[in-house]
Chains A and B, each alone.
Chain A
C-alpha cells in the first residue's frame, strides 16, 4: 500500500468542562472526538461529514495541532507529528495548512491582503527567491484574485474573495496537506461552486491532499474520493465516495443522504425519505452502546448494550452498526 499523506490513529479529544471559580475542578468532559482513525492517500480527498457539534472542527484542530489531542497519533508521510514541539513543529506545519470556515473572522481586519498572505512566510522565516511581494501576487493570481489588490483590506472583498485570500495564505508555505473546515458553508450557494472548483483545480495542479469537512454530504460529493461520516465524536461510516453514496450502510448516513437535495425534480418527495427525529444528544454524556440509538428507527436492546465497531462491509467500506442497511433506502434518490 502507498504511504498515506495524513493519518489519524485513534484520536481522542475530551474537553474538561464545568469549571467553578478560580480553584474549580473540571467536573465533566465533552467527548468531542472519541477514537477517530483515518488515512488519506497522497493527492486524495477525505470528506468528513456530520451534523453541527459532532466534533468535525475539533478533529480538524487536533489534526493540525492547533489543540493537543487527549490521546492518539497524527502522522504525516508515516511520521508522527503528535509529539513535535517548538521548532520541529513549526517546520512540520509548513506541510500541513488549514482553511477556515468563516471568511470574515479568519482574516485579520487590520492587515492588508499582502500582509495576510505573506504572514506565514515571515513567521517561518522564509524569503522566497522572487521576493515576498512577487510571491504573494503570484498566489493571488493562482487563486483568482487581482494582484493589484495587494494593499487592500479584507473588508473590501466579498465573502468568496475573502475565502480565496484564506486559500492563498494556506498555500504560501507550499503545503502538501490542506485541512479545510467547512470552507464554503458560510458562502452563497452560487459562490460555493466557484470555491469548490478552485480547490479542485488547485489539488490537480499542486498535487494537494485534502481533508475536507462539511456538514452535509452534497458539498463533498464532487470533491471527495473517500467519505467519513461522523456522529457524536465517532466515525460511523467510512468508505469510497462511490460506495458510501450509493450503498450507505449506516442508518445515520442513509438519513443524511435522504436529506440531500435531489437535482431531478421528478424524483423529489418520493417515499422512503428518512427524517431524523430529535436532537443530537450531549457529547458530555453520550448514549451507551451505539451513540445513534436514541434517533435510530432500527435500534434494539443490543444497540443499547454493545457498541458497534467499524466493520468492513467489503471493499474497505466501514460501517459501525449492528444492523447495517441492506437495501439502501435512498439509492434511487441519490444515484447521479
Chain B
C-alpha cells in the first residue's frame, strides 16, 4: 500500500507490478480510522452507556429497588439534609438522596437522562435536518433565493429568542395540548424541541450555505452535470458528502447545548414539571443546597459534562474518520 506515485504511464499501464491487492472500500477505511482512535471509542462507549441507561431506566431502578419519586424520610436528618457523608451515599442509595425529599438520586439521574437525551437527540435531528436543507437550498440556488433566506436567517438570529421562549412557554404548551399532545411534560418537551429547532437551524444553515456556495462552483459539480446528473444527484451525491464534516462538528457542539437549554428552562421552572426528573431540574434544585450538600450538585453536573465531552470527542473523531485525506500509510 505504500507504492510511490510517479506519473509514468509504464508503472500504471502494464498492471503487472506487484500482487493485486484489493483496496478497501471508503466505508471500511473510515471504520478502520475510527477504530484506531482510543478516545473516540471511549467517547462512543460513554454515549452508548448513557443511551442504554436512559432506555432501561425503569428496569435498572426495579432491579436496584429504587424509585425516582419515592420519598425516604429515614435517609434525611432533622434539617432535611441527607444523613451521612457525601450526600447520603449508602448501599441503599448509591448516589445518595435528594435533600428535602430523600428521593434516590441515581433513580432520578437515570430518569432525567431520558428527558435530557431525548431533548438533545430530537433537537439535533430537527435542527440539522432543517438547517442542512435550507442551507443547501440557499447555497445551491444562490441569487434571490439566497438573499431572501439570508435575511430570514439574520432575522432569526436577531430575535431575542430566550425572552420569546420564556414568554411563549405557557400559550404554546397549551396550544400543543389542545392539538392532542399529552398534557404536562410531553407538551413541554415538544415545545422545547420545537423551540430549539426554530432558533437552532440557522447555525447549521449558515455553515452549510457557505460551503455549498463554494462547492457548487467546483468543476466536479460541472462534471456531474455534464454526465447528465440532475439536481438530486448533485445535492445528495456530490455536495452532501462534502458537507458532513462541518455539519458533524456543529452537531457535536450543539447537541450538548440543547441538553443545557433543557436544563436552563427546567431551572427556570419552564421545563419539566415536578416531580418528573431531568438533569436540568436536578441542577436547578441542587443549587439551593450547594453549600450544605455539594454532592447533589456534583452528580448531575458531572453527568452533563461527561456527556458534552463525549459528544465533542466523538464528533471530531467521526469527522476525521470520514476524511479521505487521513493518512493511509499509517493504517
Interface residues of A (CB under 8 A from B): 21-22, 61, 64, 66, 89-91, 93-94, 97-98, 100-102, 105-112, 115, 119-120, 123-124, 141, 144-153, 155-161, 164, 166, 169, 173, 191, 194, 198
Contact = CB atoms under 8 A, between A and B. Distances in A.
A226 to B, nearest CB: 23
B328 A93 contact: no
B150 to A, nearest CB: 10
B38 interface: no
B60 to A, nearest CB: 41
Interface in B1-33: 5-9, 11-13, 15, 17, 20-26, 29
27 contacts: A66-B226, A94-B228, A97-B226, A98-B223, A98-B226, A105-B219, A105-B220, A106-B218, A108-B241, A108-B242, A109-B242, A111-B241, A112-B324, A120-B227, A141-B15, A146-B11, A146-B12, A146-B15, A148-B22, A153-B325, A155-B325, A158-B7, A160-B7, A166-B223, A169-B223, A194-B7, A194-B9
Contacts of A120: 227-228
Given A144-B9, A146-B17, A124 B25 contact: no
B35 interface: no
Contacts of B227: 93, 97, 119-120, 123-124, 169, 173
A120 B5 CA distance: 26
A61 B222 contact: yes
Contacts of B228: 89-91, 93-94, 120, 123-124
A147 B21 CA distance: 10
Interface of B: 5-9, 11-13, 15, 17, 20-26, 29, 144, 147-148, 218-220, 222-229, 233, 237-238, 241-242, 322, 324-325, 328
A150 B23 contact: yes
A149 B23 contact: yes
Contacts of B324: 109-110, 112, 153, 155
B3 to A, nearest CB: 8
Given A160-B7, A173-B227, 15 more contacts: A93-B228, A100-B223, A101-B219, A102-B219, A106-B223, A107-B223, A108-B241, A110-B242, A146-B12, A146-B17, A152-B23, A153-B26, A156-B328, A169-B223, A191-B7
A90 B233 CA distance: 13
B25 A156 contact: no
Contacts of A156: 5, 328
Most buried by B among A120, A146, A151, A161: A146
A194 B13 CA distance: 13
A179 to B, nearest CB: 9
Contact of B5 (A109, A153, A158, A194): A158
A315 B285 CA distance: 95
Nearest to B11: A146
A12 to B, nearest CB: 21
Contacts, number: 117
A140 to B, nearest CB: 8
A151 B29 CA distance: 10
Nearest to A191: B7
Contacts of A101: 219
Contact of B7 (A119, A152, A161): A161
Contacts of B220: 105-108
B7 A93 contact: no
B219 A141 contact: no
A112 B241 CA distance: 12
Contacts of B328: 152, 156
B12 A144 contact: yes
B21 A148 contact: yes
Contacts of B21: 148
A159 to B, nearest CB: 8
A150 B26 CA distance: 11
A157 B5 CA distance: 7
Contact of A123 (B5, B7, B224): B224
B251 to A, nearest CB: 18
Given A108-B242, A148-B20, A100 B222 contact: yes
Contact of B218 (A22, A105, A115, A148): A105
Contacts of A150: 23
A123 B13 contact: no
Contacts of A153: 26, 324-325
Nearest to B239: A108
A66 B222 contact: yes
A206 B226 CA distance: 20
A22 B144 contact: yes
Contacts of A141: 13, 15
Nearest to B148: A22
Contacts of A91: 228
Contacts of A21: 147
B241 A151 contact: no
Contact of B24 (A124, A145, A151, A157): A151
Shortest beta-carbon contacts, A-B, top 4: A151-B23, A120-B227, A106-B219, A110-B241
Contact of B12 (A66, A119, A145, A169): A145
A152 B237 CA distance: 18
A146 B13 CA distance: 6
A167 B248 CA distance: 33
Contacts of A105: 218-220
B136 to A, nearest CB: 15
A106 B241 CA distance: 15
Contacts of B219: 100-102, 105-106
Nearest to B6: A158
Most buried by B among A61, A108, A141, A173: A108
A151 B222 CA distance: 23
A247 to B, nearest CB: 36
